[in-house]
Structure 1
Amino acid sequence: MRLASFNVENLFDRPRAMGRDLGDRSAVLLQAHADLNAMLEHDVYTDRLKTAILERLRVLRLLGSDAATYAVLRQIRGRLLRRSKSGGTTVVAGGRGDWIGWVELTTEAISEVALRNTIRVITDVNPDVMAVVEAESRVALKRFLDAGFAELPVGSRFGHVMVIDGNDDRGIDVGIVSKPDYPIESVRSHVDDVDAYGRVFSRDSPEYTIRMPSGRRLVVIVCHLKSKGYGGQAASNATRLRQATRTAEIYRRLRAERVSWVAVVGDFNDTPASAPLEPLLQHTDLRDISQHPAFVADVRPGTYGNATASEKIDYVLLSPQLFERVRGGGVNRMGVWGGVNGDLFPHYPTITRPSQAASDHAAIFADLDTD
């Protein structure tokens, strides 16, 4: 069987603030959005907090209107703001109890060409089981797969699709899809896992149990750890460390329960030598598919963007019993636009500009003998 992981970067709609043409401004917008919604949950809006709220609204261009290019202020009941005719804006709510509302990011449709290229990547990889990172919802993912693979024989389509909404309000959840012969038997979510610092996962780290045609079970833990894209580096690293630590605990619990076939896959948003990933990569017996002799590598070690060593952030980690069953593996970066001119490595001829890329991430896969 072929097990793959692919960050599809949303299928139909992507927050405009995550646009590839925004450069560093994307991180600023996303951070302002995250900060603002956290601030709005305070019971009391002090003068200092009101100033900070207004500053984030300014970044999102919401001082003068409830709707802007990158975000929308929803004021459902009560009012957060008063806007004067002279152009001044003040926070009139005294705290969370005075109004009902939030700030959400606006979205834009993914180009049809990009969607076709995403289908092409998945078709070329041809996985039996695939972890999907940054899917908007189960409905969106199923609609995409049903339409994109309708011409294939039933046995070659993805008969099983599962996504659980996580903790990220931008619609970037993690899920799994599998061919008809690989049914999803159970799902265990970790959206509510907490540690001494609060909720652990920015999205989720679900366990999906897949039944093989042989009757054996495979448990796939799908990860999307905290990105480096926005927020202070120290805080992001600390969050990613907490998430990797908890995921390692989940893995060790499965092994203690005598589950021998376990894979931990997804977008870890950090490199193999990073301190935040040590709990997974150094303190468990998990093995990286890219380190197997049968893994077919090219001259670029990364899986994201320009695929440099500092951009190896997508993983397929296998328990020892699975690693000894590896028969092959590799990456497919044909859907990625590499470099300013897209000429760092081959890609599909249908990609003539960055917006037509299937994703900024390559798909990574492992071939396993599961008989």
Structure 2
Amino acid sequence: MKIATFNIQNLFHRDRTLLEKPYGKCVTDWINELDELMRGNSRASNNAERIQELVFLLGFDKTFDVPYAVMRKRAGFVFLKGMDYSKEMKSCELTDWNGWIALRTTPIDPKAVQNKARAIADVNPDILLLQEIEDRASLEEFNALLLPEYDCEPFQEVTVVQGSDKRGQEMGVLLKDGYRIKSVRTHPFDIDNSLNPKKEFFQYEIETTSNQTIWLLAAHLQEETSDKEMTDAYRKIQAEQIANVYHQLFKSGHENIIIAGTLNSVSYSDSLSPLLRETDLKDVTKHKSFNVDFDEGSDADYFRLGAYRLGVNIKQKDYLLLSPNLFTNVKDCGLNRKGILPKKRPIWKVYPTMHSKKQAASEHPAVWTKINI
């Protein structure tokens, strides 16, 4: 059985809040301008319009969190919002058109989409866990149309359980013929007793071709923010809750358990200690059979703090953690990072079709392992 996890960072479209902002140098000027306008006594309409623009540019206005295109008011009366919003003035023949539409997502470069398919085809697992996909329809289209172009047989079963994150960060599990999902369970992260949690993790019961059952816990933990202390605290609570489910499964007599996904921190981080140091789970990248193309030049003999291992000097955020029974039966393992474009150093082999960052498959590698089961 070959299983892989890959944070694909969306298939065809990506939420603009997840993209790097191209106007970082302007932020200070915008903040200063907004402060001056807010302190001023003038109530001129052009000032109000400019305040609206600055509020939007600085990200204070979160209307784009609703999963629809949004038409907003600009000085005139044209305004169209989602069904969650109160009634607004509509356009009429007495007003000039002065509205605009803010699209929530941006299209991904076709070359990048092809490289995503190429990265999956090169690994070609029996069980594939994908993070950050838009929806089931996009995944089915990608599976049926893109993968065959790279001599990869489409997966027979495609499962997407929609989470509570509204930014197109769903998880999908794809299975080859002979494997099937017997059950799926959602575990909401209980961070602050909120009735509307921001994230959750998923528990899959999967039957293999040899009629064995494996338990897959798929997780995408809190990403880094400017408030590192809060971020680490949230992530540690999430890790503790996943570890609790792992212990419950193990105590129930289940020995074939996998925890996979983007944990968003390095292995020495205290926020991941509930999983990496307070359980008997094993990281496949630490297995003696771990196989990957090493960094080029002198970096091949260097082990950067937080990297996957010697000669693989990219910061580890993605994990395949195995229960002891599965780890002892690992036949082979590795990662595919040919779809990641190096920034400077270290340098490694990449796909020849990648010439810029926007053509990269992802900023994450595909981590995989083969297990005798």
Q: Please give the TM-score of this superposition, normalised by the length of structure 2.
A: 0.75
String of CA shifts for 1:293-344, please: whole Å, max 9, x gaps: 11124347747xx9646x211000000000000011111001111115x982
Name the residue aligned to 2:274: 279
Name the residue aligned to 2:72: 66
Name the residue aligned to 1:128: 126
Task: Tell me how far apart the structure 2 counterparts of residues 241 and 276 of structure 1 sit (CA, whole Å).
Answer: 4
Is this contact kept in 2: 1:164–1:175, CA < 8 A?
yes
Task: Tell me how far apart the structure 1 counterparts of residues 286 and 336 of structure 2 sit (CA, whole Å).
Answer: 17
Mapping of residues 12-161 of structure 1, within 5 Å: 12-20=12-20, 22=22, 57=56, 59-60=58-59, 66=72, 74=81, 76=83, 77-78=85-86, 106-150=104-148, 156-161=153-158
Name the residue aligned to 1:318: 322
Percent of aligned pairs with the same amino acid: 29
Task: Tell me how far apart the structure 2 counterparts of residues 216 and 130 of structure 1 sit (CA, whole Å).
Answer: 17
String of CA shifts for 1:107-140, please: whole Å, max 9, x gaps: 1111111111001000001111111010111221
Task: Tell me how far apart the structure 1 counterparts of residues 159 and 237 of structure 2 sit (CA, whole Å).
Answer: 25
1:295 lines up with 2:294 in the alignment: no
Task: Tell me how far apart the structure 1 counterparts of residues 56 and 134 of structure 2 sit (CA, whole Å).
Answer: 25
Aligned-partner SS, 1:202: coil
Aligned-partner SS, 2:243: helix
Change (3 A) 1:73 1:54: farther
Task: Tell me how far apart the structure 1 counterparts of residues 127 and 199 of structure 2 sit (CA, whole Å).
Answer: 21
Task: Tell me how far apart the structure 2 counterparts of residues 286 and 368 of structure 1 sit (CA, whole Å).
Answer: 15
Aligned-partner SS, 1:141: helix
Aligned residues: 314
Name the residue aligned to 2:247: 252
Name the residue aligned to 1:240: 235
Aligned-partner SS, 1:244: helix
Q: Please give the TM-score of this superposition, normalised by the length of structure 1.
A: 0.76
Change (3 A) 1:73 1:18: farther
Change (3 A) 1:144 1:23: farther
Cα deviation for residue 18 of structure 1 reads: 2.3
Q: Which amino acid aligns with 2:159?
A: M
Change (3 A) 1:113 1:152: closer
Name the residue aligned to 2:42: none
Name the residue aligned to 2:223: 227
Task: Tell me how far apart the structure 2 counterparts of residues 239 and 106 of structure 1 sit (CA, whole Å).
Answer: 26
Task: Tell me how far apart the structure 2 counterparts of residues 223 and 127 of structure 1 sit (CA, whole Å).
Answer: 19
Q: Which amino acid aligns with 1:16?
A: R
Cα deviation for residue 182 of structure 1 reads: 1.2
Name the residue aligned to 1:4: 4
1:190 lines up with 2:194 in the alignment: no
Task: Tell me how far apart the structure 1 counterparts of residues 364 and 322 of structure 2 sit (CA, whole Å).
Answer: 20
Cα deviation for residue 2 of structure 1 reads: 1.0
> Among residues 259, 268, 290, which one is paired with 1:264 in the alignment?
259
Task: Tell me how far apart the structure 1 counterparts of residues 122 and 151 of structure 2 sit (CA, whole Å).
Answer: 15
Q: Which runs of 5+ in 1 are unaligned?
A: 29-52, 82-103
Name the residue aligned to 2:372: 369
Task: Tell me how far apart the structure 2 counterparts of residues 169 and 188 of structure 1 sit (CA, whole Å).
Answer: 20
Aligned-partner SS, 1:174: strand
Task: Tell me how far apart the structure 2 counterparts of residues 364 and 157 of structure 1 sit (CA, whole Å).
Answer: 19
Task: Tell me how far apart the structure 2 counterparts of residues 289 and 333 of structure 1 sit (CA, whole Å).
Answer: 16
Task: Tell me how far apart the structure 2 counterparts of residues 2 and 218 of structure 1 sit (CA, whole Å).
Answer: 12
Aligned-partner SS, 2:199: coil
Cα deviation for residue 20 of structure 1 reads: 4.5
Is this contact kept in 2: 1:174–1:203, CA < 8 A?
no
Task: Tell me how far apart the structure 1 counterparts of residues 151 and 286 of structure 2 sit (CA, whole Å).
Answer: 34
Is this contact kept in 1: 2:112–2:361, CA < 8 A?
yes
The root-mean-square deviation of aligned C-alpha atoms, in Å, is: 3.3
Cα deviation for residue 263 of structure 1 reads: 0.4
Cα deviation for residue 150 of structure 1 reads: 3.9
1:347 lines up with 2:350 in the alignment: yes
String of CA shifts for 1:209-265, please: whole Å, max 9, x gaps: 11111100011111100000x341111111111110101011111111111100000
String of CA shifts for 1:42-101, please: whole Å, max 9, x gaps: xxxxxxxxxxx99854513869x8289xxx9836453589xxxxxxxxxxxxxxxxxxxx
Change (3 A) 1:167 1:54: farther
Q: Which runs of 5+ in 2 are unaligned?
A: 28-51, 64-70, 90-101, 295-299
Task: Tell me how far apart the structure 2 counterparts of residues 233 and 119 of structure 1 sit (CA, whole Å).
Answer: 34
Task: Tell me how far apart the structure 2 counterparts of residues 259 and 346 of structure 1 sit (CA, whole Å).
Answer: 40
Task: Tell me how far apart the structure 1 counterparts of residues 116 and 169 of structure 2 sit (CA, whole Å).
Answer: 16
